[in-house]
Amino acid sequence: MLTACIKSNIAPDTHLNSVSKKGIVVLSMDFPRGQTGPFILRFKNEESGAFGGLEVLKAGASSTWELAFKKYDFKENDLYGELKVVEFEPGVYRLSSWSVGKVEPNAVKEYRFHVEAGKITYLGNAFFKQNNPFSRSEANAPLAITIHTDKSERDIKALSGLYPNLDLNHLINLAPKNAETGFFKPEQDIEITIPVINAIVN
């Protein structure tokens, strides 16, 4: 069984230099205002063996109560966002899985990236939206919409303000240039596993 932990952001006064033993991964995660999620991306370090190296990035909340008290890095009209700035061990990582609430795809796209010690790796922005199949307006929509894009202008400006000690000259921008180079398969190619709902009958 893989061991995994949800990554927490680094301390605001973190420094990064040529002698640092770890790298920093930066990713923003956006979702519609009022949606809890949680919205999760899981990455596996391919150099860590079969039972380790699973890194988890999580945005949103596990409940509406938690959502009400969260602080967000971005608020743009009806869109909320969180900037993930986390330490990763050096190595090659692949996308292992992702989920939107209880919805997960049957298969994920082959996506890999390299983390270097002493460097900042910017992966772009992941947008998540969970649709309601019981809503008349969304009845024919996919259960989840996922988009991977480049929001480096917004995100790196926020990164500079939140982490003034990070030298952005060490930043490697791996944000996708188009849909084919991002995390997610095109919408029509995604197969969603519908969660089983267990009803209690009196």
pTM of the model: 0.85
Three-class SS of residue 162?
helix
Taking only the tens place, the pLDDT of each residue in 116-173 is 999 999 999 999 988 765 455 444 556 778 889 999 999 999 999 999 999 999 899 9
Q: Which amino acid is at 183?
A: F
The DSSP element (H or E) to which 159 belongs, if any, is helix 152-162
Taking a C-beta distance cutoff of 8 angstroms, is the pair 30, 126 a contact?
Answer: yes
Taking only the tens place, the pLDDT of each residue in 31-62 is 998 888 889 999 999 987 655 678 999 998 87
Eight-class DSSP state of 52: S
Q: Is the pLDDT of residue 20 over 80?
A: yes
Q: What is the DSSP string of 59-84?
A: ES-SSHHHHHT---SEEETTEEEEEE
The DSSP element (H or E) to which 151 belongs, if any, is none
Taking only the tens place, the pLDDT of each residue in 58-86 is 998 877 777 778 889 999 888 999 999 99
Eight-class DSSP state of 142: -
Domain residue extents for the chain:
4-11+22-193
96, two tokens: 């292992």
Taking a C-beta distance cutoff of 8 angstroms, is the pair 125, 83 a contact?
Answer: no
Instruction: Give the phi and the psi of residue 66 in degrees, each rounded to 5.
Output: -65, -40
Taking a C-beta distance cutoff of 8 angstroms, is the pair 19, 95 a contact?
Answer: no
